Amino acid sequence: MRQKTALIPTLRTVSEAEMVSHQLLLRAGYMRQVAAGVYNFLPLGQRVLQKIIEIVREEMNRTGAQELLMPALNPAELWQESGRYDTYGPELVKLQDRHGRDFILGPTHEETITALVRGEINTYKKLPMTLYQIQTKFRDEKRPRSGLLRGREFIMKDAYSFHADRECLDQTYEDIYQAYVNIFTRLGLNFRAVEADAGAIGGKGTHEFMVLSDAGEDTIAICEACDYAANIEMAEVVFQGQDNGQASVPAMEKVSTPGKRTIEEVSTFLGLPTHQFIKSLLFIVDEEPVLVLVCGDHEVNEVKVKNLFDATVCELADEETVRRIAGVPAGFVGPIGLKEQVKVIADQAVQVVIDAVVGANEVDAHLVHVQPGRDFQVDQYADLRIIQEGDVCPRCGGAIQFQRGIEVGHVFKLGTKYSQAMNANFLDASGKEQPFIMGCYGIGISRLVAAIIEQHHDENGIIWPVNVAPFAVHLIAVNMKNEDQAKIAEGLYEELKRAGMEVLFDDRLERAGVKFKDADLLGIPVRITVGAKASEGIVEIKLRRSGESAELAHEDVLKELP
Ligand code: ATP
Ligand code: MG
Ligand code: MG
Ligand code: MG
């Protein structure tokens, strides 16, 4: 590509951007803002996006996943079927067509894909099946100020898997987890897979892939000694276990209350069926451990607390307080994000214990001053301890480090949440109707562009990892008016292109200083400069990352290129 006619509008300074990646993408002419959180990708930005997409596509295809494409515009009915039309919150973009029919712009596509598979697949013989797309998503984010890190319109790779049984889901989950490791490694990222929202859904069910960077919004706990790493979004939850009724605990205080209640009684009290109890959770409230029961479907990353909101069912808090703490929109009747929900439950924990869950040394009876392990069996969820700064690793006792991370991927065992809600079933080997068991797997494609820059830049500009660079070589003719330089540069441009290399050719009539500054800013890995020594047939080759440079005869360039 010839720079003279290319749309690469570089800027010396930008004022509006806080994040380094946001500043550099604007300054280097990779993108321009259209509205808050909505961007034009200029030619260079588009090339980087396509590089990332190709890597993601290759690795997804290798797992056996099939690419399709779903629409951004989706009928509200689908989201009403799943219940999310009313519960997703203000991030959901809603609109109407000319007939007044309700639509949404998809922030994610569980509903659309579940409806598709419901209509097309009815036997276990077609399972497992993983479908994915690379497509534009819409989320009306509250603070779309970080450039591509948090757009209101952004590009995601989202995959959905369908299975006849859990083991099969576990296998696909592992395959895609590995594909994600491959993808982020090929993208040149320093990343960690962390246990996500581990507190309430049980450990092996969801992981986030975090790019380690101070620009990240998430805090993650990483053990220096073993492979433990977790998102600590929910610092309140410190332990999950099950009352084994075995405790023999001296000096254990009973809470003075209306009396002991069994789980059945509590569930009646909360208006929830018993099977929806996940676990008892232990919270630290006022430095005291307090147990509460959390209700919900343990296969999903959400806990249904709808009855907690209904002051007439249980008087845990007035509706207004709950909505304020949880940020729940008026009219809320279903699942909300786990983080918010846990905050609500932590706030109400004491009240729950006093009102509903008291007793000692009996199954389904719960206590204050409880010690995990002593009073509770450490079950398979025990390693999901969510830790606080200064803690030691819950797995190995090693030192825990806190780091900031950018969430670039998320894998998730959905179970039957959507298939049940939307009545998506298949016939199993014995001819019995079963709901599909599902997983979902996202990657923030456009967020990755920014995340890569956060890890790969210096004070002069971007330093692209080779695999995602918009061009492999930046060829610069210092003075296009000089005949020797122009001739050698033009010759090299043709030769490199013929050899299949992607070359950006700076053939502009700009000053040398401008050209070099722009080259550093753009961040293309290899720079070939044709300057004063062109008269002797000598050119310079320089690596953007190390700054290493060497002079060589222009005929040798092709064979010397890394
Ligand atoms: P976040 O916690 O950053 O809001 P999320 O957990 O809501 O992200 P998911 O629903 O897990 O996001 O979506 C899958 C992936 O899509 C995320 O891991 C992230 O990489 C990307 N993503 C989510 N929201 C945005 C956004 N507003 N802009 C760009 N990428 C996004
Ligand atoms: Mg989000
Ligand atoms: Mg998240
Ligand atoms: Mg996520």
Instruction: Dump pLDDT digits (tens) for 56-107.
Output: 999 999 999 999 999 999 999 999 999 889 878 789 999 999 999 999 999 9
- What is the C-alpha to C-alpha distance for residues 241 and 339, in angstroms, rounded to an integer? 19
- CA-nearest residue for atom 27, ligand 1, is 150
Q: Is 141 in the pocket of ligand 1 (CB under 6 A)?
A: yes
Give the atom of ligand 1 at the shortest distance from the alpha carbon of 408: 20
What ligand is nearest to the CA atom of residue 217? 1
What's the CA-to-centroid distance between 150 and ligand 1, angstroms?
Answer: 8
Instruction: Dump pLDDT digits (tens) for 29-45.
Output: 999 999 999 999 999 99
Residue 310 has pLDDT above 60, yes or no: no
Region class of 390: left (phi > 0), else alpha (psi between -120 and 50), else beta? left
Residue 210 has pLDDT above 90, yes or no: yes
- CA-nearest residue for atom 18, ligand 1, is 409
What does the pLDDT read at residue 196?
A: 72
Helix H or strand E encompassing 115: helix 110-120
- What is the C-alpha to C-alpha distance for residues 352 and 455, in angstroms, rounded to an integer? 45
Q: Is 127 in the pocket of ligand 1 (CB under 6 A)?
A: no
Q: Is 137 in the pocket of ligand 1 (CB under 6 A)?
A: no
Residue 387 has pLDDT above 80, yes or no: no
Q: Longest Cα pair distance anywhere in the chain, in angstroms?
A: 96
What does the pLDDT read at residue 388?
A: 58
Enter the tokens of residue 183. Answer: 């993808």
- What is the C-alpha to C-alpha distance for residues 403 and 399, in angstroms, rounded to an integer? 13
- Are the C-beta atoms of residues 444 and 218 closer than 8 Å to each other? no
Enter the tokens of residue 549. Answer: 């440079």
Q: Which amino acid is at 12?
A: R
Q: Is 444 in the pocket of ligand 1 (CB under 6 A)?
A: yes
- What is the C-alpha to C-alpha distance for residues 220 and 223, in angstroms, rounded to an integer? 10
What's the CA-to-centroid distance between 407 and ligand 3, angstroms?
Answer: 6
CA-based end-to-end distance of the chain: 20
- CA-nearest residue for atom 1, ligand 1, is 407
What's the CA-to-centroid distance between 347 and ligand 2, angstroms?
Answer: 23
- Are the C-beta atoms of residues 66 and 492 closer than 8 Å to each other? no
Q: What mean pLDDT value characterizes the chain?
A: 77
What's the CA-to-centroid distance between 337 and ligand 3, angstroms?
Answer: 10
Neighbours of 57 (CB within 10 A): 16
What's the CA-to-centroid distance between 407 and ligand 1, angstroms?
Answer: 7
Kindly report each contact of residues 308-317 with a partner whose C-beta sits within 8 Å and lies 24 or more positions away, as own/partner: 308/270, 308/344, 308/345, 308/348, 310/271, 313/270, 313/271, 314/269, 314/270, 314/271, 314/355, 314/356, 315/355, 316/348, 316/351, 316/352, 316/355, 317/344, 317/347, 317/348, 317/351
- Are the C-beta atoms of residues 137 and 410 closer than 8 Å to each other? no
What's the CA-to-centroid distance between 252 and ligand 2, angstroms?
Answer: 42
